[in-house]
């Protein structure tokens, strides 16, 4: 196409030069003038043609250069995207490798725990046989061991969660964890059922340790879902003092210390008061990793709050019936029997000075809520806010919103505003006296 264009232009230039030469010859210029005009016209035309072709070539080169530059920009952009994707894939592979190593470590530790339980059963079985005692307990313990082994293999060790809500909004902010085992038929075994067999065989510590692993797993799952809630997980002083279990568990938590804000270890008040130096030291190691503690089963409100602060205890769970029964009337107002020098309304403020929040647990009625709010308690737990549910239901189905009000119809809900609770009624009566 380009050659045809060049030939056509050359023919055009030749025609123009001939026309100019003929005009000069006919007007008296003679043959010499005609030939000179022909040659000069052809030279001028071809010079102009060269300039035009050069301009067209330059324009074409500019377009090609712009296309190359655009292709280069697209290529660089794609390379940046590929590099970013490769970085994400590398990080994901690294995270998966870390999680795989953590899960592998957990499996090894779980296998070690089950093996230790089997050794304990064999030791106790041989002792019972040597003493010629009835073998019923041994059979029960063997059945329990088989149940635990099957539960681990078939993933039938379930974790149940009960919501802990913030007051007065009743929005779920924590969960309390409970353990449940299922046998081969799917029947749920309550702790009271298998602990009666586990306690004589010395298996309670091992079972507690298994449940601690379940808590870590579900906290990791919640963190992956970006759920901004924490879980109270029971830990026994036996687990804290277990020389073979606790170092492994501490290594697991050190590798997952980013979960420290969401995992709260809970033990009873009596166990906390009776802890030894080993338990206290291991609690300190957990606190150094950022993990917090909670006390439940509170039976005495005369507490050393400085000791709680030193031990990183951040929550105090008190049963609502026990707390309200502790209220007593005096000439100066309502007090707590365990703390006669302190007004009842100031108890929550006192605990907050030491960084401890009160959780009113076992809340069953709306009337208790009114009294709890008058005591300025920030958290509540109980069947009124939700019963313990299996983790697959609690985490996957429940939205992090206000808890439904399951108050029975026979007892209409009371509103905080305008409601009259125990504190208000007793204070009014004391004022009239």
Q: What is the pLDDT of residue 155?
A: 64
pTM above 0.85, yes or no: no
For residues 423 and 374, the answer to whether their CB atoms sit within 8 Å is yes
Domains in the chain, ordered, with CATH? 134-432 (3.20.20.450)
Q: What is the pLDDT of residue 133?
A: 44
For residues 153 and 162, the answer to whether their CB atoms sit within 8 Å is no
Cα–Cα distance measured from residue 301 to residue 289, given in angstroms and rounded to the nearest whole number: 29
The stretches in the chain having pLDDT less than 70 are 1-11, 13-14, 16-18, 20-49, 83, 89-141, 143-145, 148-149, 151-153, 155, 192-207, 226-227, 392-433
Cα–Cα distance measured from residue 138 to residue 122, given in angstroms and rounded to the nearest whole number: 9
Of 390, 383, 325, 323, nearest to 359 by C-alpha is 323
Query: pLDDT, tens digit, for every residue of 261-282?
Result: 889 999 999 999 999 999 999 9
Count Cβ atoms below 10 Å from residue 174 Cβ, excluding itself.
22
Q: What is the pLDDT of residue 403?
A: 42
Q: What is the pLDDT of residue 68?
A: 76
Cα–Cα distance measured from residue 378 to residue 429, given in angstroms and rounded to the nearest whole number: 26
Question: Cα dist. 260→217, 228, 317 in Å?
Answer: 13, 12, 20
Beta bridge partners of 327: 336
Beta bridge partners of 176: 162, 232
Buried-state track 332-354, b at ≥16 Cβ within 10 A, e below 16: eebbbeebeeeebeebbeebeeb
Of 321, 264, 277, 278, nearest to 298 by C-alpha is 321
């Amino acid at each position: 196409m380009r050659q045809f264009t060049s030939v056509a232009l050359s023919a055009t230039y030749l025609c123009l030069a001939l026309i100019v030469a003929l005009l000069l010859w006919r007007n008296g210029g003679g043959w010499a003038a005609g030939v000179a005009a022909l040659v000069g016209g052809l030279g001028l035309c071809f010079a102009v043609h060269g300039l035009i072709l050069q301009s067209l070539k330059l324009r074409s080169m500019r377009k090609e250069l712009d296309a190359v530059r655009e292709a280069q920009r697209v290529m660089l952009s794609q390379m940046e995207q590929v590099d970013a994707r490769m970085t994400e894939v590398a990080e994901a592979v690294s995270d998966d490798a870390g999680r795989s190593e953590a899960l592998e470590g957990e499996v090894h530790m779980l296998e070690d725990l089950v093996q230790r339980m089997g050794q304990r059963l064999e030791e106790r079985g041989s002792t019972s046989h040597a003493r010629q005692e009835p073998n019923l307990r041994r059979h029960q313990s063997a059945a329990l061991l088989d149940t635990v082994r099957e539960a681990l293999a078939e993933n039938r060790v379930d974790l149940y969660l009960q919501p802990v809500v913030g007051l007065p909004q009743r929005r779920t902010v924590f969960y309390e964890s409970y353990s449940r085992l299922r046998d081969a038929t799917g029947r749920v075994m309550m702790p009271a059922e298998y602990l009666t067999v586990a306690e004589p065989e010395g298996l309670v510590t091992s079972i507690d340790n298994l449940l601690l692993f379940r808590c870590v797993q579900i906290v990791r799952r919640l963190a992956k879902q970006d759920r901004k809630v924490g879980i109270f997980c029971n830990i026994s002083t036996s687990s804290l003092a277990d020389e073979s279990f606790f170092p492994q568990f501490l290594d697991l938590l050190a590798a997952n210390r980013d979960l420290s804000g969401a995992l709260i270890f809970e033990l009873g008040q009596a166990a906390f008061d009776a802890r030894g130096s080993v338990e206290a030291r291991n609690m300190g190691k957990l606190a150094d990793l950022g993990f917090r503690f909670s006390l439940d089963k509170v039976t005495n409100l005369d507490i050393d709050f400085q000791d709680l602060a030193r031990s990183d205890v951040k929550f105090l769970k008190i049963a609502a019936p026990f707390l309200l029964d502790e209220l007593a009337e005096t000439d100066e107002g309502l007090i707590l029997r365990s703390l006669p020098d302190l007004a009842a309304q100031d108890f929550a403020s006192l605990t907050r000075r030491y960084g401890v929040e009160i959780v009113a647990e076992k809340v069953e009625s709306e009337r208790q809520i009114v009294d709890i709010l008058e005591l300025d308690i920030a958290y509540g737990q109980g069947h009124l806010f939700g019963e313990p549910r299996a983790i697959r239901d609690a985490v996957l189905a429940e939205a992090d919103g206000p808890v439904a009000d399951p108050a029975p119809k026979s007892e209409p809900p009371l509103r905080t505003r305008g409601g009259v609770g125990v504190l208000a009624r007793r204070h009014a009566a004391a004022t009239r006296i």
